Structure formats: structure tokens, C-alpha cells
Chains A and B, each alone.
Chain A
């Protein structure tokens, strides 16, 4: 019989929803499995990226976010067009920021005019986002829905207090609703029920579970989204089998760390890269939680996230993904002056943490100490080695738990007299010795190579080149070593298994160990058992 992978059976697909109108449509949802679980189902439509634009000059945006759009920032239509044409946005999200009574309190009519303009300028669906001020949104979004009748805009946020005023207009004029709820699965479901009771079909609703920014509540949103997906996919809750939308841009970019200039806290690095990475990491996290539409701000985030989605769906290696392309100049940050004094005490014979702390400073020192490159190189080598050592030390460590997991149930079931921990210790010991030996050899050879370079008294560039070359060689050597180690490990594992098997046979006769079958409990017995458990816990 051929091997068959056990697959989870899911109760229902996420509803496939078509956004936009005519040729300008995008489909979201439709997946029949948990996020990216293509081995169990189908990701019918890949997650879509919407790019955020504002209907006003977003003065509060940090330079990093403004820079890519500086030519279009006052003109929402041009801005939207640029997002679609230059950055390939799947959708545009027009945030009607200016209508906020605390901002410019722009009228509904003016807002509608902008919405229409943007909608005409693009050939992708348009999300229209209000200010989450229930009174104002009720007026503005209602008007938008009316005046853009039949355009199938995606209109939100619609909360329980506004579900009647906005929801009715969204339904009446043929749009799609963003049902928004404050980070709670029950509330998320309730707003969907309310909208459905109003007459809005569920396939006209996308769910906004409220998006927390990275470091600002992302984990709450993540858990709720996870629960929503599980309720939809494993409990068959049809009121939650809807695509999820996350307005990541707004929540990430408004936080302190995304705006902080380098002078304020140079330790957290280049503000441009920092903010983009924050947005990217939040986005990838939300993808894992099952987001179907991500609303993002920076073009570089969009590129990185799109490539990430591709990698997850089609495979490949992230090494081909280009690093962040900066628009702003690289700030000068003197990390050396900020770095703490190195801690030279030896902890469990590992130098790893110290080496890591000092690693950053290495290139700079190199440039300064031109006259002493040999010494530098010498110093550098073992330091660079250290993290690798750690990595290697970790690699084989991952193996034993596997054995443990396999061995434990067996132990419980049959309790063989073989001392497995002893076996394991033996093997671990062996591996450790091997590694130490290898490390020693490596350092020795490196020291020799460096000694040779030292005598040559070469210039900095040459030294660098050599170092690179060396690194490559090392990498190759390491690869080989790794393979060897792996082979050895596999062999050892096999041996252990054999031993355990033999031992078990010897003890339990021919019979394979089996778990004693639990007898069906009658009602009262079960209750008494549960109560006993409770009491013993209490004790």
C-alpha cells in the first residue's frame, strides 16, 4: 500500500467574493484550507494587496513614507494611478482622512467627488475607508454608497453602531461591506449577523477584525483571526466563512517607532528600513493568520510582501528577493560608540553572545586600522567562527528530541528496561566530541591561513577579498561537514531504534506494545472521574 498523507478535512470554504465592477474586478477568498495549507486544500485566490492613499496631504507621515509619492501626494487620483501602474497594487484603499471632524471636517459631497475621481483613474477595485467616527461616517459613507451606485466599492469600516445607516446604503447601492469589530470573534460574528439580517448577503461582506500594529496589539488580532479561520474552516461557522481584511498601513505607520527619526534613538537603526520592515513583518504575520486583503503603504513593503506570498504559494528561495531599495540617504550611525562593553567572562564554554555583540563593529575597525590588518583578521576569524559554532551545535541538538518523542510513548506503554537516556547520552557525547574536534581543526587551519597572509603584508582590499574567499571555502567545508554529520546522525538514530526495538521485544515478547483501550465510561463515572481530577488539582 502506498503512503497516504493524513489530511485535515475542512468544513467549508471561505466565500469567494468578487470586488469591483466590469473588467476591474478582483476575487478574494475561496480557499478550502487554512492559510497556505496547500497540502490540504486549495488557495483559490492568493491574498491581495491594496495600497493606501489619503484624500489629503498626509503631513503626519514620516519622510520614509512620503518620499516614494512626493510627486503625487496632493492628488489622490494620480497617487492611486501611480500605485497601480508603478507598484502593481491589486486594489486601492482611499482613506477619507480629511472628513474627520477632528481634521478638516470635509463635507460628504467633497469626499464623494474625490472618490469618483480616484475610481475613474484606476482599473482596480476601490476600497473607501472612513474615519471610524460613527456620526460622520454615517453621513459620508452613505453618500459615497449612493453616489457611486453599482460600482461595488468596498466600504468600511462598518461597526455595530453604524451597521444600519451605512450597511443599508451599501446593500441598497450594490457595494461590499467591511464589517468591523473590536478584536473579538463573537463581535465579529455578531456584526455579520446584523448585516445579514439587514438584508446584505454574506458574500458582500469582508471581515475587519481590527488590525493591531507590530508591537501594538498584533498578537491580539492574530489570535482572533486564527480563531475566526478555525471557526470557519473546522467548525463550519458560515457566518465567519468570509475573507479577512487588515488595514496594516495605518496602524503600523502611526506608531512611535515607525516615525522616530534617527537622532532620537540611533540604536534602532535607519528609520526608513525600520518602518518598512515593521510594515513587512506585520503583513507577513497577518498573512499567516489568514488575511485575504492587506492594506499597505510603502512600495517596498508591497514588493517584499508580494514576493513572500509568491514564495509561500510556489516555493523557491528568499535569497533571490532583493533587499530594501532605499529612497532616502543612509544615515550615519556610530554603533561602536553605543555598543556596551564586551562581557569577556566565559559562560558554559561558549563565546557566542559576546561575538554577536561585537560583530557589527568589525567592518569599521577594519577601515580604521589599516596598518594592522593582520592582527585584525586574526582577531576577526575566531569571532566570526563563534556564531557558526553555535549554529552547528544547535543543529544536531534538534535531533534528540525526535528520538525522545518516539521513545516516550513506547516507554509509557511497555516500559522497556533499556535505559534510553543512557543511550542518548552516549550519542550526544559522541557528537559533541566530534564537533569539538572539527572545530579545533577548523580554527587551526584558519590560523595557518591567516599566518600566511600576515607574512604577505597585503592591503586592505586584498585582505577583504581573501576573507570573502575564505568565507566561501568555509561555507563549502561546513556544508560537507554538515552532511557528514547528518549521515552519522541518521546512522546513530537507526542504531538506537534497533536497540530499543530489540530490548522491547525481549521484554514484551512478540507483541507490539499497545495502549490499553479505555473502556466507555458511563455518565456518572465520567463525572466522578472529572470531579476527582478537579479535587486532586485543587489539592
Chain B
């Protein structure tokens, strides 16, 4: 991989070929003023190439003279070879001061179970399989019924036993098997328990369609819904898309949704809203993957208890009332069409089981999908979302708790929040002297909003440079037009001026947005610490931390630790698994054993009601501070802040 050296900082980064120079700078921890998100509009990110050459990097913002001198726009330059880059800085600053600007990135990239490993270990056992049958045409010697013909063929030629036939198959079988001269494909649904259960013939199709066998994985989140198309022959993901849950208009958190569901036709409306979101997403990803609706045999659904109940139209009334009772924790296979999902009649919906009212199928999916339930290592699994969940344990034992964090991590509940999609500011740094920002968007498009990972990075950077105080309030005395009072008592920082943005307005980060983030991270941190305390473990006794969340493709761990989202620990011990719920849904579509094991896992899990754990509220209050009221718990952040203070006071 090419190496890029930045001067006068003296920092460097190794990046994959084709990486944007601006991104390479952020990775190295080098600040370059850039406010247009990386599409060459503002022309501020001029850098001087000293060694090497980049791809592109020029625009009308650079004069001919500048171009010849070696100036390039970092937001347009792609790295193809080793480079040496001079970054213009305002004055003659000491590198130690310069390097205060940003910390080198410590990302936890998505760590997923590799498909190859999966296959090698014999885990690739989809719950739905297709069998191609060449049936002997009926004759006077063999005039058994069409159904018997299919069943017998499966028995004698494919070693499939314990078969039963879905009524919808019986209805159409006569014509289907004759359509292509008795060549036909049968779709078999595997039972949860191979020994005792029955294989169901879910569908018959004319001809050989075994190479077209697809599944869908669906994560129904409080804020966001994600869908994936999976090829059941290869296990590959063909398309993926996520969108805000349309139920958001009925309330941002599950409590408000339940309240709404209790009124009149509320439940019906909420169910309809999420179905519309789901069907829209499915249509989009199926189209993208080039898969027909009738080629989808199954859809695996993971969601928290309330989302699951709202989708299945189960009265959620008692979820929010002590002693918090859900309607059902284990769901039978359901015809997807019967619950309103726009698929063919044969498609089977498999719904992940829940554990309690506040620990739902999404977290179960995460535990299954990350294979934490098979691991010896004592793992802390944190699912960061609107309803954050924390699990500690290994293959022998597990404890879990849910903590309500709010939608901040998913870009919800913010003035200009958005999901992690094109145009969302996902990376940020700030010059500690001029307070000019460096923003980078997903897809290097004009900025239109802020996504969850961007918010974490912003708040951490602003806090470290002293622009934000420990309470998340802007330092109002700083000399910059970017910090201003938006309305009575509400202060904001302008990330992108209107003329450089992709929307017709300034893109700002406001104090209430930061408050939301602080509350969200406080809920998660205190949830983790309370659970650890309750079972008598200390941080050092954890072997690893798995971080899940649908807020982007990566998380900057150093920044997450800076704001106190997670207890301070060696970043090496932390891995990011992306959207855990979606991953679990996917894995379950690829491995029928997960459906068997999930029942055992749910039985193993001990649930803690944090609302009934007295120390939780206290820990929560202590966490509503950057990084935490007890600074001693964050020695690294503390020493970095002190270091910065020392250097700044020296200049």
C-alpha cells in the first residue's frame, strides 16, 4: 500500500490505492482545512506535492501557476503511489503544536465472520434448500398422485425424509410439474430440529431453478430498517440498503410508539408504517440484486421486542408496564405474506426470538451472528442503537441489559442529523487555532447532514480542542464566526456554510444535539459498568469487546473513548462488527444450526432490569459529562488533555 508523508507534521499513513488524499490525512491525524465535504467546491484544501504524483487533484480553483508549482486539492486527489505532501499552515508552528490538531485514527473496521471459514467449518447450512427433480411422467404402471410423485422422488433420489407438503404447493403442483416436461424444482424448508422436525415442501417451480435461491435478511430497528439480499448458493450479499423507519413520525422511542399503539387504530397504523418501509427497502434491494420476488424463499427478521411486536401486530401494551411482559419470545415460522411483507406465498418469515421486553431479537441476532455464544472468551457485546443493549458472557453464561440511548447514534433527534448515506458528514477535524473545520462526507458529495459516526468524531474533536467544555457547551469566547447563538440560549458551530453545502442552509452542530449524544453515550457507558458491577467483574477481566451498531462503516475508537462512550481500555481488545442485528439475521439465513442454538442461548441469558438496579441511575448521572465525572477512569484522555494544555500554555 502507498505511504503518504505529511509535513511539517511529520506524520504518515499507509492507505489503500485510490484513497482520497484528504482521508489519508485524517487517518494520519493531519488537519487540512476543508469544508465542502470533499468535492472540490471550497478550494481550501490546497496541499503542495513534494514527492510523487496523485491522480486528479486539480480544478478551476487552482491557477495554472499553482498547478505547475505542485499544488493540488486534497479532496480531489487520489493516492496511487508513495507521496510526500506539504500542508500549508497559518504560521510557523512547532510540530508538537501542529499535532495537537488531531489524533491518528484508530479505527475498528468491520470484523465479520468470513464466509470461507464458515463453509470450511461446515456451518453453511441454509434453512431453505432447492432440489432439482427429474420426475418420471405418470404411466399406467405408475399413476400415483402428483404430490406422491414429488415426495417419492425426493425420498428415493435425494435422501429427503420426514416430508410434509404445504397446501399452496398442492394447489399448483399439477400444472407446475407439467410445464417443463416433469422437470421441476422443489423448495424445502428445514425444521429447527433435524431429528424430530419435518422438512416442508414450500414451493415447486417448473424447470431447474436451483441456481436462483435467495434469502432476505432484515433488521427492523427503532430508528433504521436495514435489508440485505443473500444468495443461498454462495452465501454472498448481493445488495443492501437501509432507511429510516417510517414509524419515526409516531415517536422517536419505543415508549412513545407503544403509547401510540394503545390508542385506537394505533397498532394498525404503526404496523402499516413499518411494513411500508420494509417493502420499499425490499423492492429496492431486490431490484438492485436483479432478483425476482418469487425467487426469494425466506426472510429472516431481527428486531427488538417492541419492533417485533409492532410488525407482527401484537399488542405491545404490557411491554412498558411493570413487570414488563412481552406477548411472545419464540415465534413459529410464518408465511411472510401473512404478516404483510410483499413476497410470494411460499416465502417463509423467520423471526428472531426475544429474551425480555427490553432485550429483543436484535441483540439475540447479534450474539448469534458474532458467534459470541460459541466463544470461550469473556466478551462484552455492546449494540449501540436507539435501544442499546449490553451482553457480557461466553459460551457458558450470559447476562444482558437494555439501556435506552435515543436515536443520536443513528443520526436521529438532531437538527441536521441523517443516516449514514451519501452526503453525510462522517469524518471531521478542527484546527485548534483558527477553529476551521475539515469535513469529509460519505461518497465525497456535498455535505447535507451529519451521521452518527460523524457526530462522535465531531464532539470528541471539539472537546479535545477546548471548543466544547466537559458539559458539551461551546466556548462562547472563541474568536470565530463559526460559533454563534442560533436562537435564545442555543449555541451552534457552523460546519459548512450554506454556499458550500448540498442543502440551502448552513450545516450546524447545536448544543441540544450534543446533549443528546452525551445522554446516549452516558446510557451505554453506565449500562456496561452497571452490568459488570452486578456480576462482579472488572474491565481487566474482559477478554474482548464487540461493538455493534448500524451507524456507519467504521467507528473511530479513540474518539469513542474520548467522549466516554466505552470504558477506557486498550483499543486492541475492541472490534466492531457493524450492524449486529442484520449480521445475525444474515447468518441465520445461512446456517440453520443458529435457529437451533438460539433457543438454548435465550435460556442461558440472565436479564437485568437496569431500571430496577439502584446504582444505574447514579452511574448514569456520573456519565453525563465529557468524558466522565470521574476523570480518573479515563487516564489516557486525561493525559492527552493535560499534554495539550501544557503545550498550548507554552505557546
Contact of A523 among B378, B476, B606 (CB under 8 A): B378
Cβ-defined contact, B622 with A186, below 8 A: yes
For residue A237, which residues in chain B have a CB less than 8 angstroms away from its CB?
A: 630
Q: Does residue A372 face the partner (Cβ distance < 8 Å to B)? A: no
Q: Does residue B86 face the partner (Cβ distance < 8 Å to A)? A: no
Contact of A193 among B396, B476, B477, B631 (CB under 8 A): B631
For residue B621, which residues in chain A have a CB less than 8 angstroms away from its CB?
A: 184, 186-187
Q: Does residue B537 face the partner (Cβ distance < 8 Å to A)? A: yes
Minimal beta-carbon separation of A537 from chain B (angstroms): 11
Minimal beta-carbon separation of B613 from chain A (angstroms): 11
When chains A and B are docked, how far (Å) is the Cα of A193 from the Cα of B631?
9
Contact of A186 among B396, B541, B618 (CB under 8 A): B618
For A, the interface residue count at a CB cutoff of 8 angstroms equals 20
Evaluate whether A194 and B535 lie within 8 angstroms (CB atoms) in the complex, with A186-B621, A531-B397, A531-B606 already known: no
Q: Does residue A189 face the partner (Cβ distance < 8 Å to B)? A: yes
When chains A and B are docked, how far (Å) is the Cα of A531 from the Cα of B378?
15
Cβ-defined contact, A197 with B397, below 8 A: no
Cβ-defined contact, A527 with B536, below 8 A: yes
When chains A and B are docked, how far (Å) is the Cα of A110 from the Cα of B57?
64
Which A residues, 162 to 200, have Cβ-Cβ distances below 8 Å to chain B? 164, 184, 186-187, 189-190, 193-194, 197
For B, the interface residue count at a CB cutoff of 8 angstroms equals 23
Cβ-defined contact, B535 with A524, below 8 A: no
What's the dominant secondary structure at chain B's contact region?
Answer: loop
B618: nearest chain-A partner, CB-CB: A186
For residue A524, which residues in chain B have a CB less than 8 angstroms away from its CB?
A: 396
Which A residues, 489 to 539, have Cβ-Cβ distances below 8 Å to chain B? 523-524, 526-528, 530-531, 534-535
For residue A187, which residues in chain B have a CB less than 8 angstroms away from its CB?
A: 621
For residue B209, which residues in chain A have a CB less than 8 angstroms away from its CB?
A: none
Minimal beta-carbon separation of A413 from chain B (angstroms): 25
Cβ-defined contact, B624 with A531, below 8 A: no
Cβ-defined contact, B606 with A535, below 8 A: yes
Q: Does residue B181 face the partner (Cβ distance < 8 Å to A)? A: no
A188: nearest chain-B partner, CB-CB: B629
Minimal beta-carbon separation of A234 from chain B (angstroms): 15
When chains A and B are docked, how far (Å) is the Cα of A164 from the Cα of B475?
9
Which B residues, 452 to 486, have Cβ-Cβ distances below 8 Å to chain A? 469-471, 476-477
For residue B534, which residues in chain A have a CB less than 8 angstroms away from its CB?
A: 530, 534
Cβ-defined contact, A186 with B535, below 8 A: no
Q: Does residue A160 face the partner (Cβ distance < 8 Å to B)? A: yes
When chains A and B are docked, how far (Å) is the Cα of A189 from the Cα of B399?
32
Cβ-defined contact, A527 with B397, below 8 A: yes
Q: Mark B621-638, 1 if CB is under 8 A from A, else 0.
A: 110110001110000000
When chains A and B are docked, how far (Å) is the Cα of A526 from the Cα of B535?
9
Which A residues, 189 to 232, have Cβ-Cβ distances below 8 Å to chain B? 189-190, 193-194, 197
Cβ-defined contact, B629 with A531, below 8 A: no
When chains A and B are docked, how far (Å) is the Cα of A528 from the Cα of B606?
11
When chains A and B are docked, how far (Å) is the Cα of A526 from the Cα of B536?
8
Cβ-defined contact, A160 with B471, below 8 A: yes
Cβ-defined contact, B470 with A190, below 8 A: yes
Cβ-defined contact, A186 with B629, below 8 A: yes
When chains A and B are docked, how far (Å) is the Cα of A531 from the Cα of B537?
12
Which B residues, 322 to 373, have Cβ-Cβ distances below 8 Å to chain A? none
For residue A527, which residues in chain B have a CB less than 8 angstroms away from its CB?
A: 397, 535-537
B624: nearest chain-A partner, CB-CB: A186
Cβ-defined contact, A197 with B470, below 8 A: yes
When chains A and B are docked, how far (Å) is the Cα of A535 from the Cα of B537?
17
For residue B470, which residues in chain A have a CB less than 8 angstroms away from its CB?
A: 190, 193-194, 197
For residue B535, which residues in chain A have a CB less than 8 angstroms away from its CB?
A: 527, 530-531
Cβ-defined contact, A523 with B622, below 8 A: no
Evaluate whether A193 and B606 lie within 8 angstroms (CB atoms) in the complex, with A160-B471, A186-B621, A523-B541 already known: no
For residue B625, which residues in chain A have a CB less than 8 angstroms away from its CB?
A: 186, 190, 193
For residue A194, which residues in chain B have a CB less than 8 angstroms away from its CB?
A: 469-471
B376: nearest chain-A partner, CB-CB: A524
When chains A and B are docked, how far (Å) is the Cα of A160 from the Cα of B472?
11
B641: nearest chain-A partner, CB-CB: A197
For residue A197, which residues in chain B have a CB less than 8 angstroms away from its CB?
A: 469-470
Minimal beta-carbon separation of B635 from chain A (angstroms): 15
Minimal beta-carbon separation of A158 from chain B (angstroms): 14
Cβ-defined contact, A534 with B469, below 8 A: no
When chains A and B are docked, how far (Å) is the Cα of A160 from the Cα of B625?
12
For residue B397, which residues in chain A have a CB less than 8 angstroms away from its CB?
A: 527-528, 531
Cβ-defined contact, A164 with B631, below 8 A: no
Minimal beta-carbon separation of A197 from chain B (angstroms): 7
Minimal beta-carbon separation of A186 from chain B (angstroms): 4
Minimal beta-carbon separation of B58 from chain A (angstroms): 45
For residue B378, which residues in chain A have a CB less than 8 angstroms away from its CB?
A: 523
When chains A and B are docked, how far (Å) is the Cα of A534 from the Cα of B630?
29
Q: Mark B523-562, 1 if CB is under 8 A from A, else 0.
A: 0000000000011110001000000000000000000000
For residue A526, which residues in chain B have a CB less than 8 angstroms away from its CB?
A: 536
Cβ-defined contact, B629 with A190, below 8 A: yes
When chains A and B are docked, how far (Å) is the Cα of A103 from the Cα of B354?
58
For residue A160, which residues in chain B have a CB less than 8 angstroms away from its CB?
A: 471
When chains A and B are docked, how far (Å) is the Cα of A184 from the Cα of B534?
22
For residue B536, which residues in chain A have a CB less than 8 angstroms away from its CB?
A: 526-527, 530
Q: Mark B609-651, 1 if CB is under 8 A from A, else 0.
A: 0000000001001101100011100000000000000000000
Task: From A237, A524, A531, name the one whose CB has the most chain B CB atoms within 10 angstroms.
Answer: A531
Minimal beta-carbon separation of A200 from chain B (angstroms): 13
For residue B537, which residues in chain A have a CB less than 8 angstroms away from its CB?
A: 523, 527
When chains A and B are docked, how far (Å) is the Cα of A194 from the Cα of B535?
34
For residue A523, which residues in chain B have a CB less than 8 angstroms away from its CB?
A: 378, 537, 541
When chains A and B are docked, how far (Å) is the Cα of A327 from the Cα of B390?
64
Q: Mark B590-602, 1 if CB is under 8 A from A, else 0.
A: 0000000000000
B645: nearest chain-A partner, CB-CB: A197
Evaluate whether A164 and B476 lie within 8 angstroms (CB atoms) in the complex, with A526-B536, A531-B535 already known: yes
For residue B396, which residues in chain A have a CB less than 8 angstroms away from its CB?
A: 524, 528
For residue B606, which residues in chain A have a CB less than 8 angstroms away from its CB?
A: 531, 534-535
A236: nearest chain-B partner, CB-CB: B632
When chains A and B are docked, how far (Å) is the Cα of A177 from the Cα of B606?
48
Minimal beta-carbon separation of A525 from chain B (angstroms): 11
When chains A and B are docked, how far (Å) is the Cα of A189 from the Cα of B470?
12
When chains A and B are docked, how far (Å) is the Cα of A164 from the Cα of B618?
26
When chains A and B are docked, how far (Å) is the Cα of A531 from the Cα of B535?
7
A528: nearest chain-B partner, CB-CB: B397
Cβ-defined contact, A189 with B476, below 8 A: no
Minimal beta-carbon separation of B62 from chain A (angstroms): 42
When chains A and B are docked, how far (Å) is the Cα of A197 from the Cα of B629?
13
For residue B477, which residues in chain A have a CB less than 8 angstroms away from its CB?
A: 164
When chains A and B are docked, how far (Å) is the Cα of A516 from the Cα of B83?
69
Contact of B471 among A190, A528, A534 (CB under 8 A): A190
Evaluate whether A189 and B629 lie within 8 angstroms (CB atoms) in the complex, with A194-B471, A523-B378, A530-B536 already known: yes
Minimal beta-carbon separation of A239 from chain B (angstroms): 8
Minimal beta-carbon separation of B298 from chain A (angstroms): 35
A165: nearest chain-B partner, CB-CB: B476
When chains A and B are docked, how far (Å) is the Cα of A524 from the Cα of B535?
11
When chains A and B are docked, how far (Å) is the Cα of A190 from the Cα of B622?
9
For residue B624, which residues in chain A have a CB less than 8 angstroms away from its CB?
A: 186
B477: nearest chain-A partner, CB-CB: A164
When chains A and B are docked, how far (Å) is the Cα of A528 from the Cα of B470?
39
B625: nearest chain-A partner, CB-CB: A190
A529: nearest chain-B partner, CB-CB: B536
When chains A and B are docked, how far (Å) is the Cα of A190 from the Cα of B396?
40
For residue A186, which residues in chain B have a CB less than 8 angstroms away from its CB?
A: 618, 621-622, 624-625, 629
9 A-B pairs, CB-CB below 8 angstroms? A164-B477, A186-B618, A186-B622, A190-B470, A190-B629, A194-B470, A194-B471, A524-B396, A531-B535
Q: A186-B618, A535-B606 are in contact. List 16 more A-B contacts (CB 8 A).
A: A184-B621, A186-B622, A187-B621, A190-B629, A193-B470, A193-B625, A194-B469, A197-B469, A197-B470, A237-B630, A523-B378, A523-B537, A526-B536, A527-B536, A528-B397, A531-B399
What 10 A-B pairs have minimum CB-CB distances, sorted nearest first?
A186-B622, A186-B621, A186-B629, A530-B536, A189-B629, A530-B535, A190-B625, A190-B629, A527-B535, A523-B541
